[in-house]
Amino acid sequence: MFTHKILIILLVGFAIKANAEQLSPKLGKLASEELVKQWNRDIYPDGEGLPEGHGNALQGRLVYEQYCESCHGQEGTGRSADELAGARHSLTDNPPDKTIGTYWPYATTIFDFTRRAMPLNAPGSLSDNQVYAVTAYLLYLNGIIKEKEVMNAMTLPKVSMPNRDGFTREKI
């Protein structure tokens, strides 16, 4: 009797799975191990996970103009995508300006996000040097670093962001 129940449960499970596969829109494809490795590159606020490479704002301006300006506007002031620099309002204003200089707590997060998600039409296509350079340019536009300051795995985590202490961990 017990084995009949198990058999019925298994048959029902297989039938549900088969029906779900038939109804599936068949979108996407399985990610290869190589693709998973490419996207599984975590970077932490303390700089752990940052790759080799370097760049400064002078180099970053060229990267920005080529890959970022069409969406984020001249000098990061916004266009079809969010503004990245040039805040006219603080976070306590209504509405607040959530630019890199007013909102983001860690410079390493800029690198991580840019490396993973930008440019929108080809995420992950920029070299590590290009990402360091454009990160430096964005920090420069927000008045956080000097134009010729080199950003790399050692210097980027040391950048003190204006809103670094604006995020707190609260127990819920």
Average pLDDT over residues 72-94: 90
Is the pLDDT score of 53 beyond 60? yes
pLDDT of 55 reads 98
Mean pLDDT of the chain: 88
Confidence of residue 73 (pLDDT cuts 50, 70, 90): very high
Average pLDDT over residues 134-163: 97
Confidence of residue 130 (pLDDT cuts 50, 70, 90): very high
Task: Identify which of 107, 131, 102 has the alpha carbon closest to the alpha carbon of residue 47.
Answer: 107
The continuous run of DSSP H or E covering 8 comes out as helix 2-23
Burial letters for 162-171: b for 16+ Cβ neighbours within 10 Å, e otherwise?
A: bbeeeeeeee
Average pLDDT over residues 141-162: 98
Is the pLDDT score of 59 beyond 90? yes
